[in-house]
Structure 1
């Protein structure tokens, strides 16, 4: 879904977020596909940063989801988002793609304080 499509959806308006992150699908294709899939299924395209809640969110989101040899359990919305935790979408993704994507996103939001609303746009 492109930015125009996201902004025209009833749950997102240009005043409902503070920043936009353009997630690089060509660098992390499996994670990008998961983000798009989860948003298409109704998960929020907006992430409200909540770094203090990340550990608890991760614990809730991965509870009961078995590990799979050679794969990470990718969660969307991500654990550092207030929208993370229970009722997230989980996909099995190869570690290089998932961890690279996690590191990249981390660097994008590192300077934003908790409470910042980020629109995630896959590009």
Structure 2
């Protein structure tokens, strides 16, 4: 039991995300395990975004929020393609760069008027994959407050 918890905690720490207060019971076990996402209310969670792991994306999120964009994302996976089309319309591609959007296309707050910044593909795609993985278990309509650490 101790070895399992120790392994989970080390894995989380090495992944670059911080552990929140939310706990979930393991199947057939009584000891809860901490998760990197914390529940704020029935439909809102907080997600600590790891700036050390994805520095360009983290900087973009901070800049966009400072410029007035929302720190809250309402998950809308079905609207992602449409939002991406709207947000990137008229923003030319650049060789060796991705066009990062904030709010992200998977957010109902995304789309037209999103803040766009050119960043490295590795950082952008890694961050997108990380966020998607962390939010896999949350349904559309869930509000996610991003905290850049």
TM-score (norm 2): 0.71
Counterpart residue number, 1:113: 139
**1:25-66 deviation per Cα after TM superposition (whole angstroms, max 9, x unaligned):** 000000000000000000000000000100100000000000
- Residue 87 of structure 1: CA displacement? 0.4
Moved over 2 A (4+): none
User: Aligned partners of 2:82 and 2:116: how far apart in 1?
Assistant: 16
- Residue 112 of structure 1: CA displacement? 0.6
Gaps of 5+ in 1: 1-13
Residue 77 of structure 2 is aligned to residue 45 of structure 1: no
3-state SS of the aligned residue for 1:53? Answer: helix
- From 75, 78, 92, the equivalent of 1:66 is 92
Residue 105 of structure 2 is aligned to residue 87 of structure 1: no
The structure richer in strand per residue is 2
- Residue 100 of structure 1: CA displacement? 0.5
Aligned residues: 110
User: Aligned partners of 1:63 and 1:87: how far apart in 2?
Assistant: 10
**1:58-117 deviation per Cα after TM superposition (whole angstroms, max 9, x unaligned):** 000000000000000000000000000000000000001000000000001111101000
Alignment map for 1:6-45 (pairs within 5 Å): 18-45=44-71
Higher relative contact order (CA 8 A, sep 6+): 1
Gaps of 5+ in 2: 1-39
Task: Give the structure with higher Rg (CA).
Answer: 2
- Residue 19 of structure 1: CA displacement? 0.2
Counterpart residue number, 2:123: 97
TM-score (norm 1): 0.86
